[in-house]
Amino acid sequence: MERQSGKGGGNSVKTIVFASNKGGTGKTTISCALARSFAKIAPTAILDTDVTGPNVMTVLDVPYKHAEFDLDKFYPQKVTEQLEAFSPAMFIPDGVGVTWTGDERGEMIRELLERVEWSKDIEYMIIDSPPSTSDELLTVLLQSNPTGVVIVTHGSQTAIDDAQRLISVLENEMFNIPIIGCVRNMTDVFGMKPLDGIDLLGDVLTSDTLDVDHIRDLIIERLNHDR
Ligand SMILES: Nc1ncnc2c1ncn2[C@@H]1O[C@H](COP(=O)(O)OP(=O)(O)O)[C@@H](O)[C@H]1O
Ligand SMILES: [Mg+2]
C-alpha cells in the first residue's frame, strides 16, 4: 500500500481536531466513535496527540502492537479496512506516565504530526487532543492546519466555562480556526446547557450506543458548505 508521512491524502484531506479544554468531557470517546463512523464511508485516520493520557487505542479497543520505526517514520495500526490509528501509547510502556517537559511534549506532537506514514488515500484525519489550552493544544492547532475544530463538552458549568475559553482561543486572530460545531456529551448526566454562538452537532446520552453517524453527516455537510 502506498504511504505518505504527515497528513496523508495531500491537500484534500479534511483534518478535524476534537478539543474541549476541560478533561473528561468525552473527547477521546467521541473522536474514536466518529473515526469509526467516518471510516464507514471513506479512508480515515485517527491520531492521538494526548501524550500524557494516550487513550485512543484503548477506546478503539484494538490490540496494538508496539510501533514500528524507521529512522524518521512511525507506522500506524490498522483498525478496520478503512481506519488507521496512531497513538503515543504504541511506544510508551503501559502504565508508565511520561515526565517530559513542555518542550519535549511539543516536540513529540510535532513528530506525531509529521512522521506517521498514513495511507495515501486518507480523506479524513481525526485528531484527539489533550486537555487545556496550553502549549500542547496550541502546537496541535498550529502544526496540523485543521479544517476545523469540533468542541466536545458536557453541560456542567465548569465544562461550559472552559469550552467558552477554548472558543476565544480558536477565534483569536493568531489561530482563527473554524469551529465546526459542538457535541454535548453525557447530557442525561450533566444537562443541556448551550455554548454561546456555537451550533450544536448533537447531544449524546450516556445510554446511547454512540451511533454517531448523524453527527458525522452534519460535520460533512458543514465542511462542504464552508468550502
Ligand atoms: N456518552 C458517554 N456515555 C458514557 N460514558 C462516557 C460517555 N462519554 C464519555 N464517557 C466516559 O467518561 C470518561 C471520560 O471520557 P474521555 O473520552 O476519556 O474524555 P476526555 O478524552 O475528554 O478526557 C471515560 O470514562 C468515558 O468512558
Ligand atoms: Mg482523552
User: Distance from the CA of 221 to the center of ligand 2, in angstroms?
Assistant: 26
Confidence of residue 11 (pLDDT cuts 50, 70, 90): low
The domain that holds 42 is classified in CATH as: 3.40.50.300
- Burial tier of 61 (Cβ tally within 10 Å: 0-12, 13-18, 19+): exposed
Give CA angle at 184 (182, 186), nearest 5°. Answer: 160
> 3-state class of 187 per DSSP?
helix
CA-proximal residue: ligand 1, atom 1 (nearest): 206
Q: Decide: 20 in ligand 1 pocket, CB within 6 A.
A: yes
- For 174, what's the count of Cα atoms within 13 Å in the CB-facing half-sphere? 8
Residue 9 reports pLDDT greater than 60: no
- Full-model pTM: 0.95
Higher pLDDT, 202 or 66: 202
Which of 222, 220, 179 shows the shortest CA–CA distance to 34?
220
Counts for the chain of helices (H) and strands (E), in that order? 7, 10
C-alpha R_g of the chain:
16
CA-proximal residue: ligand 1, atom 25 (nearest): 24
Ligand 1: atom nearest CA of 20 is 22
Confidence of residue 201 (pLDDT cuts 50, 70, 90): very high
Q: Decide: 24 in ligand 1 pocket, CB within 6 A.
A: yes
Which of 172, 168, 220 shows the shortest CA–CA distance to 195?
168
Range of lowest pLDDT (97-101, 169-173, 208-212) = 208-212
User: Distance from the CA of 106 to the center of ligand 2, in angstroms?
Assistant: 17
Percent of the chain at pLDDT above 90?
Answer: 84
User: Distance from the CA of 111 to the center of ligand 2, in angstroms?
Assistant: 19
Higher pLDDT, 70 or 190: 190
Percent of the chain at pLDDT above 70?
Answer: 96
CA-proximal residue: ligand 1, atom 17 (nearest): 26
- Give dist(CA 154, CA 200) in Å, integer: 12
pLDDT of residue 1: 61
CA-proximal residue: ligand 1, atom 6 (nearest): 206
- For 227, what's the count of Cα atoms within 13 Å in the CB-facing half-sphere? 10
Mean pLDDT across 198-206: 94
Query: If you average pLDDT over every residue of the chain, what do you get?
Result: 93
Which domain range does residue 107 map to?
3-226
Q: Decide: 28 in ligand 1 pocket, CB within 6 A.
A: yes
- Residues 119/77, Cβ–Cβ less than 8 Å: no
Total domain count for the chain?
Answer: 1
Cell digits of residue 77: 495500526
